[in-house]
Amino acid sequence: MKTASLFSALIFLLTVSLTAAPVLKPYAEAVVSKAHPATAEASAVLRVSARGTHAHKTYLVFDANSLKPQELESASGAELSLTTLEDYYLLGSPGGPVSLSLYLVESNAKNPALLNLSWSNAPANDTASEARLLATVLVDSASVKGDQAVQWDDPRILTALREISAQSGAKYLTLLVVSDGTVSDPGFNFYSSQNTSRSSREPRLLIRE
């Protein structure tokens, strides 16, 4: 009986692993700061803020070459997840809700590794005219906690993935996360894939079946 139960459990785990929704981790990450327009910041922390001359924007590239068009056609949705730092997760003092928007800035990245990215040359840096809005989420800076996942969940994310998967050549999804707040609103610090050993804290793009 114990052997049969163990065998059944193994079959269940194997089935779950085979049917698990695809999860993409960043191929590259970078933060640009208005205070340092000529260089990118170290990607140990992903910062997003609209704090005047100290504004920060985060760029994430996902390698979509492994995704199959038929896999995406049957998917029910896709979402981006970033996790706040356990400590020092706010840039500034708590206030009210802050809108954080997710944009697609390139459908087939010419610079997937984000080499030499800076505030001055970053795509869609000063205007959304080059960018395509995919999702917006409100984060209440007065109640947000450390080690908390913030998720952008919108049908437009899956639509963008389907379009990129159907393209020829190298397929990369380049995303931009910005704050729609004002100078007085706080910013947020998120874990990058470089500064955590816990996979649950890493930035990730989840494709739901």
pLDDT band of residue 48 (cuts 50, 70, 90) is: very high
Please report, for the chain, the start and end positions of each structural domain, with discontinuous segments joined by +.
22-208
Classify domain 22-208 by CATH number.
2.60.120
User: What pLDDT does 130 receive?
Assistant: 74
Whose structure tokens read 């649950």?
A: 200
State the Cα–Cα distance between residues 5 and 162, nearest whole angstrom.
41
State the Cα–Cα distance between residues 125 and 123, nearest whole angstrom.
5
Residue 102 or 124, more confident:
102
Question: Which amino acid type is present at position 122?
Answer: A
In 3-state terms, what secondary structure has residue 34? coil
User: What pLDDT does 7 receive?
Assistant: 44
Q: Cα 180 to chain center, whole Å? A: 16
DSSP letter, residue 120 = T
Q: What does the pLDDT average to over 91-107?
A: 92
Q: What does the pLDDT average to over 65-83?
A: 93
